[in-house]
Homo-oligomer: A and B are copies of this chain.
């Protein structure tokens, strides 16, 4: 009983559930992946690399990822505008875990 209660609390603000929420969704991993491979990308460069994403989704997801601290947005006050995105240190720290997950996924795919 006491143990079950603590399990329920775990699920509430479980760090794993938290992690899954910040990297979940259709577009976040592709963005992380593109920024990992290219270090810094402008808005339209990201858009060209991520097949099928709309302006709406890209700008929304970038904003959310900036708030959660995965990416940094650097704006240059030029005309035409220039905005560069890159991973924060925390965003980069995430990559080894993702690679481990990817290895597992690959193993599952050709089982």
CB neighbours (8 Å) of A16 from chain B are 29, 33, 98, 101-102, 105
Inter-chain contact A51/B11, CB cutoff 8 Å: yes
Q: Please, how many angstroms separate the alpha-carbon atoms of A19 and B13 in the complex?
A: 22
Size bracket, chain A contacts: 35 or more
Number of copies of this chain in the oligomer?
2
Given A97-B101, A101-B97, A29 contacting B4 (CB threshold 8 A): no
Interface residues of A, dominant DSSP: helix
Given A4-B49, A16-B98, A104 contacting B93 (CB threshold 8 A): yes
Question: Which residue of chain B is the closest to A10 with respect to CB atoms?
Answer: B33
Inter-chain contact A108/B90, CB cutoff 8 Å: yes
